[in-house]
Amino acid sequence: MGSLDPPSNAQGGKTLIHDDVDDNQQSTADVRSELSPAANEDVGSPPENEGLKRRKIGVLPLEVGTRVMCRWRDSKYHPVKVIERRKVSSGGPNDYEYYVHYTEFNRRLDEWVKLDQLDLDSVEAVVDEKVEDKVTSLKMTRHQKRKIDEIHVEGHEELDAASLREHEEFTKVKNIATIELGRYEIETWYFSPFPPEYNDCVKLYFCEFCLNFMKHKEQLQRHMIDGKKNKVYGQNLCYLAKLFLDHKTLYYDVDLFLFYVLCECDDRGCHMVGYFSKEKHSEESYNLACILTLPPYQRKGYGKFLIAFSYELSKKEGKVGTPERPLSDLGLLSYRGYWTRVLLDILKKHKGNISIKELSDMTAIKAEDILSTLQSLELIQYRKGQHVICADPKVLDRHLKAAGRGGLDVDVSKLIWTPYKEQG
């Protein structure tokens, strides 16, 4: 539903040993090469490296579902699962590239890797998914289970197990690897359902002003921009956003939404850095449907600014609001941080008792979000049939410090906006 912070980003190398690797981190192959000559005195036996080579070739090509260690962008090996494979053009019968999921990380880091990035000595046989999930669950600590359960509930509460599995199967392989938007080339995070004619594109070129997307840079340089086609712009914005949001529903009927696009401006024009959408009429009191800060502009406070801005619009409407669910993992973290900072800042300054409803009226944050935030911080207790806020100043300071700094300030005096129902 929202994506605000990026993962680390670099490119994997092509050799097993790097100049900056510590002497104690040599590979198994190096250790074998240092064995005494006596180990290979039997002339009738093939050299050990030849035997290893034949054994490794015997496991190729790797089957979908295989577990193996893969050298990642940090030059370290991490456990992965093979999701898909494809033949390398003009290669041999075992020449494949493999699309892998790093089991320690979110799906946004899934990628195609070459065979030389995989440690074939670590290959594990394909196992039954249900058995594997049960074994993995038994090995988890209580803290790990709680963390995973929280992400599952908050991120996928609208999807049952069957729907979630169907979603992951349909979107398991990213169809577009990179996009070019303005002066940035950006690696994508997730699958996005572009029209079939774009299925063979590894890279797409987006116009940062009208958001039309093209297969070739030459098309981008000469295409025409029609500012009247707002519907096309909204649909293209949804296509673009889906490349960075896992559980986003792609709305083709964008007439139901208003899009608030945040830009950085320079002498070349206004360059989109992020946006949020908002239903024109929401029965569930949603004040935000979808939010995204593009990866090159993350960690600059723009996502927090957009969240704060959405609540200022709710105040203008005289309503309380809440973001549409499900929230992404990064969206949940950003909202929890925002709610924490806003609520604890009020509790620090407020003298005397204050109720959940009063906090909701002051902040436009829905009462359920206030309650869940204070409960997660262990700042609320249930006594004699009602919730009581326990606001020790030292505890508040500790939580505020942990929540980190806020984003850019919203200057409400500069906000000129009329709620949609009152327009024209």
DSSP for 17-41, written as a single string: --TTS-GGG--HHHHHHTS-GGGG-
Q: Which H, E and C letters describe 206-247, residue by residue? A: ECCCCCCEECCHHHHHHCCCCCCCHHHHHHHHHHHHHCCCCC
Positive or negative torsion for Cα 187, 189, 194, 199: positive
Containing 317, the helix (H) or strand (E) segment is: helix 302-317
Hey, which residues does 87 pair with through a beta bridge? 96
C-alpha closest to that of 240 among 227, 225, 250, 253? 250
**Residue 2 in contact with residue 290, Cβ under 8 Å?**
yes
Helices (H), 127-213: 129-139, 142-156, 161-170
DSSP string, 341-398: HHHHHHHHH--S---HHHHHHHH-B-HHHHHHHHHHTT-EEEETTEEEE---HHHHHH
Q: Which of 187, 279, 324, 422 is labelled catalytic?
A: 324
Reduce the DSSP state of residue 298 to 3 states and report it. coil
**Cα distances (angstroms) measured from residue 164 to each of 73, 79, 170, 173, 332:** 29, 23, 10, 15, 19
Hey, which bits of 43-110 come out as E strands?
A: 67-71, 77-87, 96-102
**Preceding amide of 196 cis, omega within 30:** no
Inter-CA distances, 63 with 71, 125, 126, 134, 218, Å:
18, 9, 8, 22, 39
Give, as one character, the DSSP assignment of residue 268.
T
Residue 337: CA count within 13 A, CB half-sphere? 21
- Please confirm, yes or no, whether 132 is among the known catalytic residues: no
Q: Say if CB 362 and CB 354 are below 8 A apart.
A: no
Sheet holding 290-293, edge to edge: 2-3, 290-293, 269-279, 257-266
Residues serving a catalytic function are 324
